[in-house]
Structure 1
Amino acid sequence: MPGFDFIVIGAGIAGLAAAASLSRHGRVALVEQEEHPCYHSSGRSAAIFVRSYGSGAVQAITTRAAALFAEARETGLFDALGTARGVMIVTPAGSAESGEAPFRERLTAEEAARLNPILRADRLDHGWWEPGASDIDVHAMQTGYLKLLRANGGTLIAASPVRGAEFRAGLWHVAAGGESLSAPVAVNASGGWADPVAALFGARPLGVLPKRRSAMLIDPPAGIDIAGLPMVVDADETLFFKPDAGRLMLSPADATPVEPHDCWPEDIDLAIAADRYEKLTGHPVMRMHGSWAGLRSFVPDENPLIGADPAVPGFYWLAALGGFGVQTAPALGAMLAEAVTGAATSDPALLAAVSPARIAA
């Protein structure tokens, strides 16, 4: 293939956003090891926009993403934020955790049960309500970003795992699948594979740890219309459930360290989820309609890695996105493009909080 200006490795939703943003500045090759984009974590996410989620740095990035979601809707790129669903953090009776956080309003146990009648007030101490949380249409984002990438002359190269990379004469020469690609800039947006991919480029791994999260679909309790109900998360962060296509998506909120792979849930994790749900709500899990798992990757401070590798020329990181990659993707892509082009407009303290140099120091 002819040369490119940028090679982005990984077509999860953050890699798609980065490729689309960079396509405004030059020709992009978006390289994906699987047959299609968003195969792994992005396609298996709870996909909800929650401003209170994550660290202070993540919340700042989420605030920027909110404006970019609105801009995408106004420009016709995509309309991905649905009607506000709301998310409720509930503290079970006897729990030591409060659940208090920015953007949340305190609820009595009775108020929590009225907002979501799957819950029972006698099993709760109190709750916290975040009304602005809303569902995210990941497919709309994927379609919009691919359309923009291709309109600007970019290319998606799927089913092409990176096999090797060499920097010479100011260019990265990358072997991916059966293709030989070259560009002065390579972006590592490879999710749980971020450290192994970095090693192919001669970069020091930064300790990006994939963790498995499991989920399943169950029937809702009989007689309860769940369509408009909020997502529920327990304050101990050991369970969440939300409406999903007429059923409930239920997760034990597991975070099991694993090697990067196409993961599937363990039976014990699904059993734990069912048990926790029954204890919290009093409703039995009668039937499971499907299950899945995805990888959520972290470094120890749980802030993302966005920006230039401190030691390897032309190599950039967009990794360690935890469970917030979908809701922050528009801002992540913009911040990465700004870092690559030297047009960074984000707060300096925020840039320092997400810089790969903080890990490499």
Structure 2
Amino acid sequence: MDECDFLIIGAGIAGLAAAAELAPHGKVALIEQEAHPCFHSSGRSAAIFVRSYGNEVVQAITARAGDLFAQAQAEGLFSAFAPPRGVMVVTPKGSPNSGEAPFREYLTAQEAARLMPCLDAGRIDYGWWEPGACDIDVHAMQTGYLRVLRAHGGALIAEAPVRSADYRGGRWHVEAGAHLLSAPVVVNAAGAWIDRVASLFGAHPLGVTPMRRSAVLIDPPGDVDIAGKPMVVDVDETVYFKPDAGRLMLSPADATPVEPHDCWPEDLDLAIAIDRYERLTGNSVSHVHRGWAGLRSFVPDECPLAGPDPDVPGLHWLGALGGFGVQTAPALARLISRQILDRPREMDVDLIRAIQPGRICGRAEVYRPELSARS
């Protein structure tokens, strides 16, 4: 049996980030059921850093993550941010919704169409512009985090689905694929499978719901240069698109509850995306390239889970990351590692309480840390 200090289940971007955070503090084993990291949601995301995305808790985590992305670049760990392309929320003619939010600037319909020539100013009332939004290089993050993990003697163990878990002698004894592993601390970062994995450790499921999000690549209008142009989201959140290697990545912003699985898009969802794009922009889609889908997992309050299970010793949750997993992963990994290492900072306490798994079952008060000034 291989013994380690920290066992992390799930090598999506959050699990990778947590592994890198904990690696300097002990031996880490990162196990993944698929053949390589970031196989599911992390590898299929639109991957854009948007400060105005999500609720106040998500925005606060994103702000901390922005500092950590900058730190990673300064220290040579990875450079994940592309030059800003911006994101624009547009209000179609007749929509009662506004789109006003922190970090956004008001645009007239004509200004919005100048920023993204795919738009027709006659079809929108106005827009809101977040100029600092930028694409995120998930592969660069993955490579950097794996380098840190391995530099400290940790290991990525692929094709190792968790089959059983037993707690004795203050340690978890876990069968994962062909491997037997032991650790006092387990981080459940299993993405859409997080509730199923938790049940193997005797934890109560927290109602994490995987939801399918579909996307397709289409050709832009032939006379439009889309290089460096912004991502566009309609204010009703029924369609969005952004430039992607000379084409447009288009999504109907679907959120269909499904069971955890390696998902694929439904033809109907892709047809809906194309119809909504055509009605928003006035452009006809001449050619459709490949489509794909991923699972975005939520709990009802749409805040992540990052902290200890309220009942099961040594088990920590890291999941329910919705559509913000890539942009918040550095901060969530830092926050959960500080809890595990008992090194919380006073400035983090309110945010940590907001993401405690115990809140789902009315047990958020279980988090009462001894505060530390350490970073």
Q: Given the two structures, how large is their TM-score scaled by the length of structure 1?
A: 0.99
How much has 1:24 moved relative to structure 2? Answer: 1.3
- Mapped partners of 1:284, 1:41: distance in 2: 30
- Mapped partners of 1:277, 1:94: distance in 2: 16
Residue 167 (1) aligns with residue 167 (2): yes
Partner letter of residue 349 of structure 1?
Answer: D
Residue 347 (1) aligns with residue 348 (2): yes
CA deviation vs aligned residue, 1:282-301 (integer Å, no higher than 9, x gap): 11111111010000000000
How much has 1:97 moved relative to structure 2? Answer: 1.0
Partner letter of residue 51 of structure 2?
Answer: R
How much has 1:194 moved relative to structure 2? Answer: 0.5
Partner letter of residue 149 of structure 2?
Answer: L
Aligned counterpart, 1:116: 116
How much has 1:351 moved relative to structure 2? Answer: 1.1
- Mapped partners of 1:26, 1:40: distance in 2: 28
What is the CA RMSD across the aligned residues, in angstroms?
0.7
CA deviation vs aligned residue, 1:208-238 (integer Å, no higher than 9, x gap): 0000000010001111111110000000001
Aligned counterpart, 1:16: 16
Aligned counterpart, 1:156: 156
Aligned counterpart, 1:80: 80
How much has 1:332 moved relative to structure 2? Answer: 1.1
How much has 1:174 moved relative to structure 2? Answer: 0.5
Residue 258 (1) aligns with residue 258 (2): yes
CA deviation vs aligned residue, 1:58-104 (integer Å, no higher than 9, x gap): 00000000000000001100000110010000000011111111100
CA deviation vs aligned residue, 1:223-265 (integer Å, no higher than 9, x gap): 1111110000000001110010111000000000000000000
- Mapped partners of 1:191, 1:286: distance in 2: 36
Which secondary structure state, in structure 2, belongs to the residue aligned with residue 82 of structure 1?
coil
- Mapped partners of 1:147, 1:348: distance in 2: 30
Unaligned runs of 5+ in 1: none
Aligned counterpart, 2:94: 94
Q: Given the two structures, how large is their TM-score scaled by the length of structure 2?
A: 0.96
Output aligned runs, 1:1-361, within 5 Å.
1-345=1-345, 346-361=347-362
Which secondary structure state, in structure 2, belongs to the residue aligned with residue 111 of structure 1?
helix
Which secondary structure state, in structure 2, belongs to the residue aligned with residue 23 of structure 1?
helix
- Mapped partners of 1:143, 1:350: distance in 2: 28
Partner letter of residue 323 of structure 1?
Answer: G
Partner letter of residue 239 of structure 2?
Answer: L
Aligned residues: 361
- Mapped partners of 1:192, 1:293: distance in 2: 13
CA deviation vs aligned residue, 1:128-187 (integer Å, no higher than 9, x gap): 000010010000000000000000110000011000101000000000000000000000
Unaligned runs of 5+ in 2: 363-375
- Mapped partners of 1:2, 1:326: distance in 2: 30
Which secondary structure state, in structure 2, belongs to the residue aligned with residue 236 of structure 1?
coil
- Mapped partners of 2:287, 2:213: distance in 1: 20
- Mapped partners of 1:288, 1:342: distance in 2: 51
